[in-house]
Amino acid sequence: MSRLTSWVSGRQLQRGAALLAVSALLSACSLFGGDKASKPAELEKITPAIAGRVVWNSSLDSVQFPLSIAAVADQFVVAGTDGVVTALQAANGKPLWRADVGQKLKAGVGSDGRFAAVVTRNSELVVLEAGRVLWRKTLLTPVITAPLVAGERVFVLSVDRQVLAFDAQEGRKLWEMRRPGDALTLAQPGVIGAFKDTLIVGQGARLTGVDPNKGTVRWEASVANPRGTNEVERLADLVGPMFRSGDLLCARAFQSAVGCVNADRGLAQWSRNVGGINGVGGSASLVVGGDASDRLTAWNINNGEVQWTAEQFLNRKLSAPLLQASTVIVGDFEGQVHFLSAETGKTQLRLSTDGSPIVAAPVALGQTVLVATRKGGLYAFRPE
Which residues make Cβ contacts (< 8 Å) with residue 45, sequence separation at least 6?
Answer: none
Closest Cα partner for 166 from 157, 158, 156?
Answer: 156
pLDDT-above-70 percentage for the chain: 88
Give whole-number Cα distances, 126 to 100, 113, 133, in Å: 11, 16, 7
Looking from the CA of 161 toward its CB, the CA atoms found within 13 Å total: 26
40: DSSP letter: P
Would you state the pLDDT for residue 184?
65
Q: How far is CA 358 from the centre of its chain?
A: 13
Tens digit of each residue's pLDDT (9 = 90 or more) over 92-118:
999 999 999 999 999 999 999 999 999
Has residue 327 got a pLDDT over 50? Answer: yes
Q: Give per-residue pLDDT as tens, 58-93.
A: 999 999 999 999 999 999 999 999 999 999 999 999
pLDDT attached to residue 261: 98
CB 8 within 8 A of CB 184: yes
Model pTM? 0.90
Tens-digit pLDDT profile for residues 197-206: 999 999 999 9
pLDDT value, residue 25:
40
Q: What is the pLDDT of residues 267-317, one digit of tens each?
A: 999 999 999 999 999 999 999 999 999 999 999 999 999 999 999 999 999
Domain with CATH 2.130.10.10 in the chain: 45-65+281-384
Sheet bearing 52-59, strands edge to edge: 52-59, 377-383, 368-372, 363-365
Q: Which of 32-36, 237-241, 335-339 has the lowest mean pLDDT?
A: 32-36
Backbone angles phi, psi at 23, to 5 degrees: -60, -45
The architecture of the domain spanning 45-65+281-384 is: 7 Propeller (2.130)
- Left if phi > 0, otherwise alpha if psi is -120 to 50, otherwise beta: which for 255? left
Amino acid of residue 7: W
Judged against a pLDDT cut of 80, whether residue 190 lies above it is answered with yes
Contact 375, 60 (CB under 8 A): no
Predicted confidence (pLDDT) per residue in 246-269, tens digit: 999 999 999 999 999 999 999 999
Place 319 in a pLDDT band, splitting at 50, 70 and 90.
very high
